[in-house]
Amino acid sequence: MQTIINTKVPDFKVQAFHHGDFKTVTQNDLKGKWSIFFFYPADFTFVCPTELGDMADKYAEFQKIGVEVYGVSTDTHFTHKAWHDASETIKKNQIPNVGRPYLPIDSRIRRAH
């Protein structure tokens, strides 16, 4: 399996839900710092809230050391907002949740497997 760690991220532009607003995330947001893309299957499932809740609990620690974390699922940024509004567990999540469609890094990961 080919690693993609420490390789150049291709140009991309996606929508995310973060701090109650929609924002655009591009490869420029990743420059000069470490980033974690945390992939999970879908919003409104019974398993994902526990993993996102655990990551949310550690988010401040990642921020302190200059690491940004992005949650990525098969859902759009609109669905991320709806889930945030409907779930107490997800409401505490301050991680930017990226709408998965058109995220080139995802196709690079699939090719690596």
Active site residues: 48
Local structure of 4: helix, strand or coil: coil
